[in-house]
Amino acid sequence: MTKLNILTGITCMLMVTGCANRAPLQPDRAVFNVDGSYQRKFYSQSIETTFDRTVAVFREANYKLDIVDRATGQISGRRGKTGDKGASNDTDLRFSALILPERGGSQVALRIVQIANQGVPLISQSKTEVVLNQPELYAYIFRRIESLSGAGAASAVDAQADLAPTTEPTPEQ
């Protein structure tokens, strides 16, 4: 009986360690490795203006922003199911944007990923990620960033607490 208990214990330990994931954990910011999958657009406006307008455009489109980091120029977010009510669409969208200084202006590097559930729920379900690379999709977003009015961008940005204030706070005594 003792040999059976030892054998059972060893088998259980092997099963548990076989399921363990030994891959290193990747932080969310690993998505900002700008490669060929990013679409780019140059603007003559300041990097701060481009950052604020990019945040405003994605907030207006009902994205939930995960990262809004003015110091590094990183913005990312996601949007849930994109179909009409009652539609059987299990597709989510994620985006990653990096705002960079460029030749006296600024540059937006943008990537949008579509995430779809595949397989039978609870049995063999997996998520498939597809990088959207249609130029028309990006052209529309880039045009919205460029044409967003200063007043609209300012009011959208001022309403958000996670962006740095544009004026220095006055010390209170």
Report pLDDT digits (tens) over 93-132. Answer: 899 999 999 888 999 999 999 888 776 666 766 778 889 8
Give yes or no for residue 163 having a pLDDT over 60.
Answer: no
Q: Decide if 3 is inside a domain.
A: no
Is there a domain that residue 95 lies in?
A: yes
- Which domain range does residue 52 map to? 31-154
What is the tally of structural domains in the chain?
A: 1
**For position 106, which CATH number holds?**
3.30.530.50
Domain assignment present for residue 5? The answer is: no
Say what the pTM is: 0.64
- Return the pLDDT at 155: 47
* Rounded Cα–Cα distance for residues 99 and 32 (Å): 11
